[in-house]
Structure 1
Amino acid sequence: MPHGHAQSTWDADPVDLNTGADTPAVIIRPYCQADAADTLAIFLAAVTETAAADYSREQIQAWARPEARELSAWHTAMQARNSCVATVDGAPAGFSDVDSEGHIDMMFVAPRYLGRGVARQLIGHVEARARQEQLTELTADVSITARPFFERSGFTVEAEQHPVTAGVQLTNFKMKKKLVGGEVSLSGQLVCRTQDQAETVREYLQLHLALTRAEPGCLSFNVTRTSNPLVWQVEERFEHASAFEAHQERVASSEWGHATAGIERRYSVIGL
């Protein structure tokens, strides 16, 4: 890869979610100057800790180069890439970007937030942004560590690459995802068996609606009571499969997901 470009490191196991009922939501927002130190620390920790399982000490040192990282230069580069930051309970947990051609230059998650769905929310946000710009594909130079996640997210390997950074040869993969998928919709019913289950739905529903409607790629999301007080009608529409899958993953570890896990769903999905 060119000097100054980092291999993308991602949440190595995004399916292994933190299942605590009080798991905070992942929020994506634009990068700002106040994020410079935190995002640089995330980058260095992701490279030196997470990626260390797949690269030698010499390769990690050449990739991270902590002694060569200057905060103002880092901020300028982050700003130029129109970066976004993922936060958990207000704290920066990861970051990414996508340019006008659909290339993802950086995608990193802090080791302490692995398994919290941060990467999935980032990819959903990045893909939604690319689709809004009517781009036809996403590309990235992906590390050995990140490759499995990218593959699960619909990317395919175009070529194995061996860039030289600081005189050391590394290995990464040129990967691509075609953005040709259409809208995904879900329709069906949430069926309670008892009044206690119905009360649980009423207790958690408003927050569930608000968080889902704020997700990247959510076109509409409605859960309404039917004439039967134990049954709710559910109608969901998402721009594409990645946004729908990111929603499913977030919900699985949310308060709503845990509180209503035992309630029957009679859903059908179109577009996957």
Structure 2
Amino acid sequence: MAYAIRQYREGDAGALAEITGAAIHAIGPRAYSRAQVMAWAARHPGAERFVSSATKGALIFIAVDDNDRPVAYALLEPDGHLDMLYCHPDHTRRGLAGQLLAEADLNARRQGISKLYTEASELARPAFQRAGYRVSHRRDFTIEYAGGSVPIHNYAMTKTLD
């Protein structure tokens, strides 16, 4: 299967929300407990998040399949925050994360952004490291879920653009 990278279009938001949920539920258990996965999934809003982010100037890069169906995406905010990087579980291990991060780098440079930063999950950290991001520290925090506080972690990471 061939993939292409394109920018967000009106009508993509629902598919992106579905990719996020599928990735968290299917891939999340490889590094996080059931409670952590459930809390993580619950804090991600639906399609409205993507519409709002695009309206506020975020660039959303989407990997699409041969039929122009979104299968992975990266969301870059105007300040250099790479807020989301998700791939549908049926399309992992095909280099899409690297392609999306390269596209985000290219566009950030065009906009004069000199530093990118993110909070990468345990699962996404290797993709970011391959793309030149460096871990600045592990972030341990809790997510309020189902009447309790669920401890979880991710990694603060940065990349300086030349």
Distance 1:69 1:98, change over 3 A: closer
Q: For residues 46 and 160 of structure 2, what CA distance do their matches in structure 1 show?
A: 35
Q: For residues 179 and 158 of structure 1, what CA distance do their matches in structure 2 show?
A: 16
SS in 2 for 1:96: strand
SS in 2 for 1:150: helix
Q: For residues 46 and 97 of structure 2, what CA distance do their matches in structure 1 show?
A: 26
Partner of 1:172: 154
Cα displacement (A) at 1:76? 2.9
Distance 1:154 1:75, change over 3 A: closer
Which letter does structure 1 place at the counterpart of 2:75?
D
Contact 1:33–1:75 (Cα < 8 Å) also in 2: no
Q: For residues 109 and 78 of structure 1, what CA distance do their matches in structure 2 show?
A: 19
User: For each residue in 1:173-215, what CA deviation from the matched residue of structure 2 results, as whole angstroms up to 9, or x when unmatched?
Assistant: 00011112xxxxxxxxxxxxxxxxxxxxxxxxxxxxxxxxxxx
Cα displacement (A) at 1:157? 0.5
Cα displacement (A) at 1:31? 1.2
Q: For residues 69 and 173 of structure 1, what CA distance do their matches in structure 2 show?
A: 21
User: For each residue in 1:135-168, what CA deviation from the matched residue of structure 2 results, as whole angstroms up to 9, or x when unmatched?
Assistant: 2111100000111121111111101101322232
1:77 aligns with 2:52: yes
Partner of 1:49: 26
Q: For residues 55 and 77 of structure 1, what CA distance do their matches in structure 2 show?
A: 29
Contact 2:25–2:37 (Cα < 8 Å) also in 1: yes
Which letter does structure 1 place at the counterpart of 2:151?
Q
Cα displacement (A) at 1:115? 1.8
Partner of 2:94: 116
Q: For residues 58 and 108 of structure 1, what CA distance do their matches in structure 2 show?
A: 20
C-alpha RMSD over aligned residues:
1.7
Identical-residue share of aligned pairs (%): 28
1:35 aligns with 2:12: yes
Structure 2 stretches lacking a partner, 5+ long: none
Cα displacement (A) at 1:83? 1.6
* Structure 2 length-normalised TM: 0.87
Q: For residues 81 and 46 of structure 2, what CA distance do their matches in structure 1 show?
A: 24
Structure 1 stretches lacking a partner, 5+ long: 1-22, 181-272
Give 1 or 2 for the bigger CA radius of gyration. Answer: 1
TM superposition outliers: structure 1 runs of 4+ over 4 Å: none
1:106 aligns with 2:84: yes
Which letter does structure 2 place at the counterpart of 1:150?
F
Q: For residues 160 and 61 of structure 2, what CA distance do their matches in structure 1 show?
A: 22
Higher alpha-carbon deviation: 27-36 or 52-61? 27-36
Distance 1:70 1:101, change over 3 A: closer
Partner of 1:94: 72
Q: For residues 133 and 156 of structure 2, what CA distance do their matches in structure 1 show?
A: 10
User: For each residue in 1:99-148, what CA deviation from the matched residue of structure 2 results, as whole angstroms up to 9, or x when unmatched?
Assistant: 22211001111110112221111011000001111221111000001111
* Structure 1 length-normalised TM: 0.54
User: For each residue in 1:1-37, what CA deviation from the matched residue of structure 2 results, as whole angstroms up to 9, or x when unmatched?
Assistant: xxxxxxxxxxxxxxxxxxxxxx31x212221231111
